[in-house]
Structure 1
């Protein structure tokens, strides 16, 4: 997919144009799940800022106090095929707040993408991570990916449980004993 002009955000592919879902979580609360858009930049920054230091460490495999502009640029860089993200939004005080995000990015290995999912602390244990990942897995399959991997801290129990529930296989990272690799054949 090509951009209409340099610097312009990519157009939604036809299969995603207008895609959004209103999902009910296990506690009855509802979220809007849709592809990440450029106008979500401020929400993405706020979402990362609200994460606890431990959640940032688990998500990014390292700690930092504030997300750099370069990190935000990287997270916002989606083309809806090789780099994809779905956000979960909830109404809070008359505004939409990002409460979760799932994303994948193509790797150097043909047919493989690396994924990540993050849910705001106050939205955990409601099934949101599962919903975000199911949308991501479905799109990865439709985009022709054959395998999805996730590199995670070995002590990330929430990701271990989610990955197991979704059918990922877990193994220790041979290059880093503090990490594991979750793999799902699509």
Structure 2
């Protein structure tokens, strides 16, 4: 008989206490994460998450290093309107506290029918299917909010994003404005 992994009681308690949309996802390795929309009270979790990312992960997400996540960046990250801008966080129980291990987000583009997206997973949570779970939630939200297309501008050497985008059905083309970047596009 194969043992079924059990959900950590603190994660189950956190999920039960949440109003609105939230999901417990079982990842490829059997681990569980709580996925829910980001909220302003996630500010410190978001700071810790960004500052824990490896230099490579920070480069792929921000096109540079973030030594310290300042107030302006954190405001931008946690203050979303859930329609024109959206973000989902993935949380796990870690040493008595909930820790952010991934985030996906979109923001409306200037033409309002498209949104730009991004996804980031903590280095120690990669290769478990978390980016796919986060992006599927994000794609569903973008569709529900009336967007017709989602796109992502990424470093050309970002192999994990190339693989994720292909898996999710995004098309890839060189960025005409920067030869070191590519644009991934998904019709919704």
Distance 1:117 1:75 in 2: 12
Match of 1:99 in 2: 101
1:125 to 119, 124, 127: 127
Pick aligned residue for 2:59 from 52, 57, 60: 57
- 1:78 maps onto 2:52 in alignment: no
Matched, 1:44 2:82: no
Matched residue SS, 2:163: helix
Is the Cα–Cα contact under 8 Å of residues 171 and 185 in structure 2 kept in the other structure? yes
Corresponding residue for residue 115 of structure 1 = 117
Cα distance in structure 2, aligned partners of 1:143 and 1:32 = 22
Query: Which runs of 5 or more structure 2 residues have no equivalent in the other structure?
Result: 1-18
Matched, 1:18 2:36: no
Q: 1:173 is matched with which residue: 172, 175, 179?
A: 175
Query: Mean Cα displacement is larger for which, 68-77 or 108-117?
Result: 68-77
Give the SS at the match of 2:131. Answer: helix
Deviation at 1:65, TM superposition (A): 1.7
Residue in 2 aligned with 1:4?
Answer: none
The equivalent residue for 1:11 is none
Shift of 1:63: 2.1
Structure 1: distance between partners of 2:110 and 2:91: 31
Q: CA deviation at 1:178?
A: 0.6
SS at match of 2:28: coil
Q: How many residues align?
A: 170
**Contact 1:21 1:34 survives alignment (8 Å):** yes
Q: Which runs of 4+ in 1 moved over 2 A?
A: none
Query: What is the CA–CA distance in structure 2 between the aligned matches of 1:30 and 1:85, rounded to whole Å?
Result: 19
Summarize deviations over 1:20-72 as a string: whole Å, max 9, x none.
00000000000000000111111000000100111111001122322222111
Residue equivalent to 2:91: 89
Alignment-derived partner of residue 14 in structure 2: none
TM-score by length of structure 1 reads 0.90
Tell me, in whole angstroms, the C-alpha distance in 1 between the residues paired with 2:61 and 2:184.
14
Cα distance in 2, alignment partners of residues 128 and 140 from structure 1: 18
- Superposition CA RMSD, Å: 0.8
Equivalence for 1:7: none
